[in-house]
Structure 1
Amino acid sequence: MASRIIIAILAGQNPASQRCVGRRVDPFPDGLFVEIDSRNVIHKFLVRDDRFAAPLYDVIIRSMGSGGVFVDIGANFGYFSLVASARAPTDRVLAIEANPAYASKLAEHAARNSCTNIEIFEVACWDEDGTLDLFVAGIHNPGKTSLSSSNAYSADLVRVLACPLDSIVERSGVDRVDLVKLDVEGAELHVLKGMQRTIDRYRPRVIVEVEDILLTQFAATPGHIHDFFARHGYRSETLSATDILFVPIG
């Protein structure tokens, strides 16, 4: 696989207090510490409203344990990867983040929390190998970083390596995949097409962000997502207004 892979097998200490202008290190669930930027809308929601990510959090903690594998596509600064790691330290977490700045921040968070079972892949998941333009959103909402300039509301871009998830899974040497979280700001269908072997072989549960307006920029619709999973023998459960859990039938 022609991609740069950062494998975060790191150790560190949880600091009780570290502060700088606009940022602080806050405790999260499970005793985790992450750097919070007061300008970042996602960080604000996570700190002020513990219900913001509750549906995804619940699925993750129910799915992990007994040597399982969690794949976090669009891992951002690592919140869900860290939760999975803390809840199931004997499991493996494959955290995939194309934005170099956020992959680096994720590695810092893994080190800060001694999450030695997180492997970080700085690459964009796609349906084929290649390179892509990643449009990086501003600090106020970096979660909007996207392979579509319209979805990111940004003219800033970085060129990133891309490959199918199937390649990452096969080269990582795992013998199971229990849960996948997929949040890539509209490019979900392309990513799904690149993980069909993983779906058919391991039958993981898959959480997908499904937003009509974001999918449109990639000539896709929510119907395409549902049809994809139906063809692979999955049913759907609604977690929130934009998050759907797809579960294998039988």
Structure 2
Amino acid sequence: MVGNYQGGGGPVDRAEQASPDSVSATASCSQGAQSSATTLAEASDQFHPSRRGSTRLSAAAGLLSWLSPRAWCIETEAAQLARLVAPGSVCIDIGAGYGLYSTLFAAAAGPDGRTLAIEANPRLTKRLHRLATVLRAPSLQPIGAAVSSASGVDTQLSVPYRNSMPVFGRAFMLHGAAHHGPNSEFDRDRLIDLTTTTLDELTEEFGVNRIDVIKVDIEGAEYAMLCGAHAVLTRHRPLWMLEIEERHLAKYGHRAADVVDLMASHGYAMYRWRGDQWQRCSHVSPTARNYLFRIP
């Protein structure tokens, strides 16, 4: 999440060099919201907020896009993922936080698109509602929900504190977690009661009949979320960007390879942003944590 980013592309392992066709494969989303002639490289050339959207939304997205490769607190991949969102797209931001990706998605998709900003922390969900109002973005729909592998499970969200200040970007769901993992570094935490749902149930509940792009950053619960997204993976087959970090997955008893293998079992190829393009890769590197998945 925003605020603790350590860089989305560092030294490149020679063993990870991209295949020759890695950036020439089509970047179309499952339902044709993006042209099949558009490649990952071409789509990443420039960010164009919809001309028909809110002026405030377009201005905010333009600023965030400009800051993305320049500000340490904004992930480089944010603007690059938004460049793959076509007008009219349906996007889902899981672990929406303060709304960085949601703002970029809503601007790129425009008024004919739809962006669901899913956030488990009620405090941040309220801020997302306020953000949508301020930006005059009716297509941006904040949803308070804790997405996991099963629905109806009563659990808690652990929000860590450092020097009496909440660190929202490191909050995680206790359901399925054996320990606090890297969050043991914090002074204390505040627990918020939650009830889980699945992505499949959530999309059905909110009448989502098409999904083009999904971003997920939920501090290690990504694998569990995918286990509750079978219909999304098999029917909608959207473009995904997942945060994958061993240190966070470990507290749930999973490894980065588990996430990669699950996505591969559904026919997805993996990419990471390297230099100035999305490059295909086969495994998770300690120098990057955001990975793009698409059907070749």
What range describes the TM-score normalised by the shorter chain of this pair?
0.7 to 0.9
Q: Secondary structure at the match of 2:208?
A: coil
Q: How does 1:161-176 map to 2 (within 5 A)?
A: 161-176=195-210
Contact 1:64 1:70 in 2 (8 A): no
Does the C-alpha gap of structure 1 residues 29 and 105 become closer, same or farther in structure 2, counting only changes over 3 Å?
A: same
- Show the counterpart of 1:182: 216
- Show the counterpart of 1:19: none
TM-score (norm 1): 0.78
Mapped pair 1:115 → 2:141: no
Deviations 1:116-170 (CA, angstroms, capped at 9, x unpaired): 0112111100111122210013346320011144444442110112100001111
Q: Which amino acid aligns with 2:108?
A: R
Which of these residues, 145, 170, 179, is aligned with residue 171 of structure 2?
145
Deviations 1:56-85 (CA, angstroms, capped at 9, x unpaired): 3212232232x2110100000111101111
Q: Secondary structure at the match of 1:101?
A: helix
- Show the counterpart of 2:154: 131
Which of these residues, 221, 235, 244, is aligned with residue 201 of structure 1?
235
**1:31 Cα deviation (Å)?**
5.9
**1:47 Cα deviation (Å)?**
10
Residues of 1 paired with 2:68 and 2:83: CA distance?
17
Does the C-alpha gap of structure 1 residues 185 and 227 become closer, same or farther in structure 2, counting only changes over 3 Å?
A: same
**1:225 Cα deviation (Å)?**
0.4
Residues of 1 paired with 2:293 and 2:228: CA distance?
17
**1:13 Cα deviation (Å)?**
9.9
Q: Which range is displaced more, 127-136 or 153-162? A: 153-162
Q: How does 1:87-98 map to 2 (within 5 A)?
A: 87-89=108-110, 90-98=112-120
Residues of 2 paired with 1:99 and 1:151: CA distance?
20
Residues of 2 paired with 1:135 and 1:69: CA distance?
30
Does the C-alpha gap of structure 1 residues 48 and 247 become closer, same or farther in structure 2, counting only changes over 3 Å?
A: closer
Which structure 2 segments of 5+ residues have no match? 1-53, 175-179, 275-287
Contact 2:132 2:141 in 1 (8 A): no
Contact 2:181 2:247 in 1 (8 A): no
Q: Secondary structure at the match of 1:137?
A: strand
Residues of 2 paired with 1:46 and 1:161: CA distance?
34
- Show the counterpart of 2:36: none
Deviations 1:79-138 (CA, angstroms, capped at 9, x unpaired): 110111122222100111000110011111111101101121111001111222100133
Q: How does 1:205-224 map to 2 (within 5 A)?
A: 205-224=239-258
**1:205 Cα deviation (Å)?**
0.8
Contact 1:74 1:96 in 2 (8 A): yes
Residues of 2 paired with 1:77 and 1:116: CA distance?
17
Q: Which amino acid aligns with 1:142?
A: F
Q: Which amino acid aligns with 2:253?
A: A
Larger RCO (alpha carbons 8 Å, 6+ apart): 2
Q: Which range is displaced more, 79-88 or 146-155? A: 146-155
Q: Secondary structure at the match of 2:189?
A: coil
- Show the counterpart of 1:248: 295
Residues of 2 paired with 1:183 and 1:106: CA distance?
16
Q: Secondary structure at the match of 2:214?
A: strand
Q: Secondary structure at the match of 1:127?
A: coil
Residues of 2 paired with 1:237 and 1:55: CA distance?
11
Q: Secondary structure at the match of 1:110?
A: helix
